[in-house]
Amino acid sequence: MRNRLLAILIGSLLLPTPSWALGGAVFAPGVSTAAATVGERFSVDILLDPHGEKIDTARALVTFPPDLIRVDSVTLGTLLSRQSPGNSFDNAAGTISEGGFLLGSSVQSGGTFATITFNPLKAGTAKISIGGSSKLIANGEEKGTGAYGEETVTISETSVDVGPAIALSSLSHPSQDAWYKSNAFVADWSGPDKQTVTGWLTAFDQSPTTDPTEKLSAKILTKTVDKISDGTWYFHLKGVLAGATYTKTAHYRVQVDATPPNVIAPTTARIRYLEGESALLTFGTTDETSGIDHYEVSMDNGAYEPATSPMVLKELKVGDAFVQVKAIDRAGNATFGKTGFRVYAEDTVLSSEDLAARDKEKGEIDALSKSGSPQPSPTSITTKAIVISGLAVLAGAGILAAMRRKKRKSISKK
């Protein structure tokens, strides 16, 4: 039961939660006004001040003008360092959703919740706003004020001669927006047209704006960096031209995640079912670096198929059922979890404990079916599973408080 509650908790971090009495905790941008130049990245800190509250879960919902700036990366700070599922940014819509949490502890002092790195596209005034629907939660209760402010960034055109551009790419990590398992990065480039390069300057670090200083021969047009640890990195390159002038510095983002997601422990409400009944399968986990991309489920060693939690397994057949769940992060790493239960003939007499558990589970399934959530078509899983995306009915920040209050009771029933 404890694992089941944990799986539901993890899923709840994906979704907006109900509003309880507001507290005093706030999000705020690092500064109210700032200046930037087209083509030169800048960063915005999202600060968290608990104001005496014990915050254990938070999600910042940020908007920005996508015609003026685009997101390069979002990095959680150390306050709530465990990444919530569903973290994302959309450069077409101009939105960011970044969540973090702690299990078994909380924060009461302020600091940087997350850092967002933007790339200015053109001159103008960009307002970066932290939405009132952002969440600051303590023990399952909303503690945010609902008013979090914005940062105004004045973007100007480049006023100095930045020199000719160079073409920088990578065969090992071809997309700067994607995550990769490989921790060996290979950069390759070409010099500017009609310009004589006398040497190159490079750097590799986790800052998006570094001015490179490591020297390379003009004849070298590739560089390999290996044994890269998980995270977001940048390769920086600048060409040295005759007359002590330089090319414009090129910055290339490298996203590495070679670590599988955290442990996943799928659970069903019971371990004993009768033929023809339905079972409610719940699962969920987190990934510290790239985040969970999706889940897949296999029944009785059948093919894995995409699924979301909770999942209703219908028309159970007599025998032992074996369920495997695969959590896949955005770099393609996978973690596997498994569970099982036994299905008896429909005339089998169940114990009073099993009957009580059956009634409770049936109520949860009925609530999901009536929640109005879209119902996908049945999959080809052998038990005719139907994925029900009604997690909001079971989820919510209050589950964290429930898990803590019922911890001992749940363990005793396990």
pLDDT score at 18 = 36
pLDDT score at 372 = 52
Q: Which run of H or of E encompasses 228?
A: none
Closest CA to 135 of 89, 84, 92, 73: 84
User: In percent, how much of the chain has pLDDT > 70?
Assistant: 83
Q: Kindly report the CATH number assigned to the domain that includes residue 38.
A: 2.60.40.680
Regarding whether 334 and 282 lie in a shared domain, the answer is yes
Report if residue 372 sits inside a domain: yes
Domain holding 339, by residue range, is 267-413
Regarding whether 271 and 250 lie in a shared domain, the answer is no
Regarding whether 371 and 281 lie in a shared domain, the answer is yes
pLDDT score at 401 = 37
Q: How many domains does the chain have?
A: 3
Report if residue 353 sits inside a domain: yes
Regarding whether 212 and 88 lie in a shared domain, the answer is no
Regarding whether 275 and 407 lie in a shared domain, the answer is yes
Residue 308, token pair as written in the block: 């979301």
How many CA atoms within 13 Å lie on the side-chain side of 277? 30
Regarding whether 206 and 114 lie in a shared domain, the answer is no
In contact, 69 and 80? CB cutoff 8 Å:
no
Indicate whether 392 pLDDT > 50: no
Report if residue 2 sits inside a domain: no
Q: Which run of H or of E encompasses 87?
A: none
How far, in Å, CA of 306 to CA of 403, rounded?
28
Q: Which run of H or of E encompasses 39?
A: none
Q: Crossing angle for the helix pair 2-12 and 398-405, nearest 10 degrees?
A: 160
Where does the pLDDT of residue 177 fall: very low under 50, low under 70, confident under 90, or very high at 90 and above? confident
Burial tier of 359 (Cβ tally within 10 Å: 0-12, 13-18, 19+): exposed
Query: Identity (one letter) of the amino acid at 152?
Result: T
Query: Identity (one letter) of the amino acid at 276?
Result: G
DSSP code for 377: P
Q: Read out DSSP for 234-247?
A: EEEEEEEETTTEEP
In contact, 296 and 369? CB cutoff 8 Å:
no
Regarding whether 408 and 330 lie in a shared domain, the answer is yes
Report if residue 356 sits inside a domain: yes
Regarding whether 144 and 56 lie in a shared domain, the answer is yes
Report if residue 112 sits inside a domain: yes
Indicate whether 374 pLDDT > 60: no
Regarding whether 209 and 134 lie in a shared domain, the answer is no
Listed residues 156, 177, 192: the one ending a domain:
156
Report if residue 137 sits inside a domain: yes
Regarding whether 311 and 388 lie in a shared domain, the answer is yes
Residue 253, token pair as written in the block: 């983002």
Report if residue 9 sits inside a domain: no
Mean pLDDT of 10-35: 64
Listed residues 256, 289, 313: the one ending a domain:
256
pLDDT score at 148 = 92
Regarding whether 194 and 281 lie in a shared domain, the answer is no
pLDDT score at 85 = 81
Residue range 230-274, pLDDT digits in tens: 999 999 999 999 888 899 899 999 999 999 999 999 999 999 999
Mean pLDDT of 130-143: 94
Q: Kindly report the CATH number assigned to the domain that includes residue 346.
A: 2.60.40.10
Residue 246, token pair as written in the block: 């330089």
Where does the pLDDT of residue 160 fall: very low under 50, low under 70, confident under 90, or very high at 90 and above? low
Residue range 305-344, pLDDT digits in tens: 999 999 999 999 999 999 999 999 999 999 999 999 999 9
pLDDT score at 10 = 45
Indicate whether 16 pLDDT > 80: no
Indicate whether 138 pLDDT > 80: yes
Q: In angstroms, how far is the first alpha carbon of the chain from the final one? A: 6
Regarding whether 271 and 409 lie in a shared domain, the answer is yes
Listed residues 256, 275, 294: the one ending a domain:
256
Mean pLDDT of 276-300: 93
Residue range 79-134, pLDDT digits in tens: 998 888 888 899 999 999 999 999 889 999 999 999 999 999 999 999 999 999 99
DSSP code for 405: H
Report if residue 1 sits inside a domain: no
